[in-house]
């Protein structure tokens, strides 16, 4: 069976781009693969964190996965920090990666030029990500296009390790989303909806109430002429609204365009569809967050199952490298 590993950072209030892009797709695919869903909390400390915030966001993302329909019995939902393999393997891979190749990571270059404090962890981030994936013998890793370089590095590290120390790791394949919705910012439809862009009016959050959602959709920028058709190049604003409508109603942007004469009607339909889509997810998430003990129990179960897969793979890598394994393992 194909094993799929997905990771997402608990970086704050999930937005519609996350839900309709990554999460919806992962959950849909979890029915026909052996899937691991990892909340990569260790990746979230490359910049200083407020501990209360990290705790809240971690629970929040866990609840969001479940609210989106992830079945924690079929799939393994867990926290990266609760399974030691990630940290253990990261060091072995830090010593497999070169300084130069980590320096060439565009995400590192971007982020290190922004912050005044550049942690060593920001630099080694990609080796921790490689550890996440290689610790499970994952075949496929669904990620956004921005993660391509990290996946290529993971493959290079697996191949290099295997060449140096003998066949140890499965070389994974990145699965870059071509289907699934690519939701753009409502105010700046030329860029992806994102929390980090500081565009509150262009970003629909899972925590937005119905009125806020409707307001944001109605104020979305449209395009110069007045016809409603799907053409992301010429009509980015309207096309984004059609993508939203399609994603929320399970159709395609092209067919979602049928029957609309005016932007006003389209916006009203989009607002209603998004509100209907978000409402049950939001309320289910709120219910789940009301019972953190239940969430922690699901995560503990996930961690035990993840650990059972990953620990022997890390021992295999240690053994291949020449570490003496503790007797009894």
Q: Interface with ligand TRP by CB under 6 A: which residues?
A: 5-7, 9, 40, 43, 129, 132-133, 141, 143, 147, 150
Taking CB positions, which residue lies at the least distance from ligand TRP?
7
The answer to whether 192 is a known catalytic residue is: yes
Instruction: Give whichever of 49 and 297 is closer to ligand TRP, judged by the CB atom.
Output: 49
Query: To the nearest whole angstrom, how small is the minimum distance from the Cβ of residue 309 to ligand TRP?
Result: 14
The one catalytic residue in 195, 216, 235, 267 is 195
Q: Where are the beta strands (DSSP E) in 134-225?
A: 140-143, 173-176
DSSP-derived secondary structure for 110-132: HHHHH-SS--HHHHHHHHHHHHH
Dist CA 189 CA 17 (whole Å):
12
Task: Name the region of 270 (left: φ>0; alpha: ψ -120 to 50; beta: rest).
Answer: alpha
Identify which of residues 122 and 241 has a Cβ nearer to ligand TRP in the complex: 122
Distance CA 243, CA 158 (A): 37
Our CB check for ligand TRP shows the closer of 143 and 181 to be: 143
What single string gives the DSSP state of each residue in 18-81?
A: HIIIIIHHHHHHGGGSEEEEEE-GGGGGSS---HHHHHHHHHHHHHHHHHTT--TTTSEEEEGG
Phi first, then psi: give them for residue 260, nearest 5 degrees. -100, 130
Q: Catalytic residue among 111, 216, 218, 267, which?
A: 111
Assess contact for 128 and 88: CB atoms under 8 A: no
**Which one from 192, 216, 235, 267 is the annotated catalytic residue?**
192
Distance CA 327, CA 292 (A): 38
Of 141 and 273, nearer to ligand TRP (C-beta) is 141
Our answer to whether residue 109 is catalytic in this structure is: no
The two structure tokens encoding residue 7: 């990771």
Q: How far is the CB of 144 from ligand TRP (least distance, A)?
A: 6
CB nearer to ligand TRP: pick between 17 and 236 = 17
Angle between helix 263-289 and 236-249 (nearest 10): 50
Output the CA–CA distances (angstroms, integers) from residue 6 to 10, 80, 90, 100, 189, in the order listed: 13, 11, 17, 27, 27
Min. distance of Cβ 222 from ligand TRP in angstroms? Answer: 30
Report, in Å, the least distance between residue 80 CB and ligand TRP: 7
Smallest gap from Cβ 297 to ligand TRP, in A, equals 24
Shortest Å distance, C-beta 21 to ligand TRP: 11
Active site residues: 111, 192, 195
């Amino acid at each position: 069976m194909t094993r799929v590993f997905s990771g997402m950072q608990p970086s704050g209030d999930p937005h519609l781009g996350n839900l309709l892009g990554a999460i919806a797709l992962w959950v849909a695919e979890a029915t026909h693969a052996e899937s691991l869903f990892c909340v990569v909390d260790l990746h979230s400390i490359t910049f200083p964190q407020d501990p209360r915030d990290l705790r809240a966001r971690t629970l929040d993302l866990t609840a969001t996965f479940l609210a989106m329909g992830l079945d924690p019995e079929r799939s393994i939902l867990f926290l990266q920090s609760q399974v030691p393999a990630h940290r253990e393997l990261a060091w072995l891979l830090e010593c497999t990666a070169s300084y130069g190749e980590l320096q060439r990571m565009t995400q590192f270059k971007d982020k290190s030029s922004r912050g005044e404090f550049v942690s060593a962890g920001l630099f080694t981030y990609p080796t921790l990500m490689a550890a996440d994936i290689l610790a499970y013998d994952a075949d496929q890793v669904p990620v956004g296009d921005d993660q391509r370089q990290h996946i290529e590095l993971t493959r290079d590290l697996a191949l290099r390790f295997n060449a140096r120390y003998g066949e140890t790791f499965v070389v994974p394949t990145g699965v870059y989303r071509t289907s699934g919705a690519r939701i753009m910012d409502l105010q700046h439809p030329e860029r992806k909806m994102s929390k980090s862009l500081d565009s509150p009016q262009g970003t629909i959050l899972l925590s937005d109430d119905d009125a806020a959602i409707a307001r944001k959709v109605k104020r979305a920028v449209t395009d110069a002429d007045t016809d409603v058709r799907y053409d992301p190049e010429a009509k980015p604003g309207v096309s984004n609204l059609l993508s939203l409508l399609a994603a929320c109603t399970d159709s395609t942007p092209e067919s979602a365009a049928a029957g609309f004469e005016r932007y006003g009607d389209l916006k009203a339909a989009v607002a209603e569809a998004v509100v209907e889509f978000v409402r049950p997810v939001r309320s289910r998430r709120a219910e789940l967050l009301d019972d953190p003990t239940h969430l922690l129990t699901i995560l503990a179960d996930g961690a035990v199952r993840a650990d059972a897969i990953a620990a022997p793979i890390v021992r295999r890598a240690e053994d291949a490298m020449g570490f003496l394994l503790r007797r009894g393992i």
